[in-house]
Amino acid sequence: MSKITGTVKIPEIEIKEEVVLDPSKTAVLVIDMQNDFVKPNGKLYVPTAQETIPAIRKLLEKARSANVPIIYTQDWHFKNDPEFRIWGEHCVANTWGAEIIDELKPAPDDIVIRKRRYDAFFGTDLDYVLRHIVHADTLVIVGTVANICVLHTAGSAALNWYNVVVPIDGISALNEFDYYAALRQITFLYKGVLTRVDGVKFK
């Protein structure tokens, strides 16, 4: 069996210093910040996910101060889910691993969307909630995993003509290659905007 190895040059990726958003048309989407992904004893631990917690918490504080709706996604699988053939068993419904981490627990008015696949729009009420409940046309997306659930959700959002903003200090991946590949795809394929949490302004 042969393997591909080598050094890849990262294309230039623009990171905006500041992104000013209308709070009445924006929602924050927190992707899969669950025990199985974030905690070292989780079944699909992402080593850099814990480092994003302070940035995500700061974003949520900004959003709540500006009355910006916050939506969490929660990977939520039945026993024997076919996805386990790819990743092994994880985020099984009603287990510790499937719970959102204590550091980022949803507030009573936040919305939680349970999903079966990478894409938070697939087979869920997310599009309905965005269009008819919170009336958002712009999404600020943070969470994990950058090149999997974050990227697939950002892609679906963009293809449904939502504006996509991703703070790069609020997402995590299994390795650097996957992280930078996600940033490239978000900007190049989907015309999403990258910034940092400190650059997100609700006005």
User: Which residues are tagged catalytic?
Assistant: 32, 115, 149
What single string gives the DSSP state of each residue in 132-162?
Answer: IIS--SEEEEEEE-IIIIIHHHHHHHHHTT-
Compute the distance between CA of residue 7 and CA of residue 27 in angstroms, rounded to an integer.
38
Amino acid (1-letter code) at residue 131: R
The C-alpha atoms of residue 89 and residue 139 are separated, in whole angstroms, by 30
Residue 91: partners with Cβ closer than 8 Å, 6 or more residues away: 32, 34, 36, 37, 43, 44, 74, 75, 76, 77, 97, 98
Using DSSP bridges, classify how beta strands 26-31 and 138-144 pair: parallel, antiparallel or unpaired: parallel
Nearest to 8 by CA among 195, 128, 179: 179
